[in-house]
Amino acid sequence: MAAETKENYELLTQQAKALVTGEDDWVANTANVSALLFNSLKNVNFVGVYRMKNDELLLGPFQGQPACVHIPIGKGVCGTAAQAQKTQIVKNVHDFSGHIACDSRTNSEIVVPIFKDKVLWGVFDFDSTKLENFNEIDQKYLEKIAEIIFNH
């Protein structure tokens, strides 16, 4: 599990909320939350957002190695999460048909949709060097944190 315990995630959720409270700029908020999670979650090699722009996902603030800039809707784990508007947990990206390998060290991934005013705004992407790094507890708390970006 990326944060190991519910208590750790409760603290991360509080920290994320404190970082974005009083700030309306999406760049500042997603940059700070990406940095918080990159430095707090275990075995991650990328934490960042992709936002919807011109009917595709466009790279936003992130922490980690350089990443793919444009992702078509329905392609890769990020594009699949955007199309389904539902969190995707991939225990082994090498088994995911159509996986887009921005960093060859990535072995597992979770992608969480971000909504603004109940409309898909983009996705939060978390990559890990470890197989099966993410589970339903990660999903629950990362979805809460993603919701904080525009609802604080």
* pLDDT band per the 50, 70, 90 thresholds, residue 104: confident
Instruction: Give helix 6-20 / helix 136-148 axis angle, nearest 10°.
Output: 10
Q: How far is CA 135 from CA 7, 89, 131, in A?
A: 16, 7, 11
10 Å CB burial of residue 137 (0-12, 13-18, 19+) is middle
Q: How do residues 32-72 score in pLDDT, each as one tens digit? A: 999 999 999 999 999 999 999 999 999 999 999 899 999 99
What's this model's pTM, rounded to 2 decimal places? 0.94
Domain boundaries, the chain: 6-148
What's the confidence (pLDDT) of residue 139?
96
Q: Answer yes or no: are the C-beta atoms of 116 and 51 closer than 8 Å.
A: no
Average pLDDT over every residue of 98-117: 87
Counted residue by residue, the chain has a size of 152
What's the confidence (pLDDT) of residue 73?
97
- Please provide residue 18's backbone torsions phi and psi, each rounded to the nearest 5 degrees: -65, -35
Q: How do residues 65-92 score in pLDDT, each as one tens digit? A: 899 999 999 999 999 999 999 999 999 9
We find that the CATH architecture of domain 6-148 is 2-Layer Sandwich (3.30)
What's the confidence (pLDDT) of residue 124?
97
Q: Answer yes or no: are the C-beta atoms of 57 and 74 closer than 8 Å.
A: no
* pLDDT band per the 50, 70, 90 thresholds, residue 3: low
- Whether the per-residue pLDDT at 99 is higher than 80: the answer is no
Residue 46: strand pairing partners? 64, 127
- Please provide residue 27's backbone torsions phi and psi, each rounded to the nearest 5 degrees: -65, -50
10 Å CB burial of residue 54 (0-12, 13-18, 19+) is exposed
What's the confidence (pLDDT) of residue 68?
92
* pLDDT band per the 50, 70, 90 thresholds, residue 137: very high
Tell me the three state secondary structure of residue 18: helix
What's the confidence (pLDDT) of residue 5?
77
What's the confidence (pLDDT) of residue 45?
95
- Please provide residue 131's backbone torsions phi and psi, each rounded to the nearest 5 degrees: -65, 145
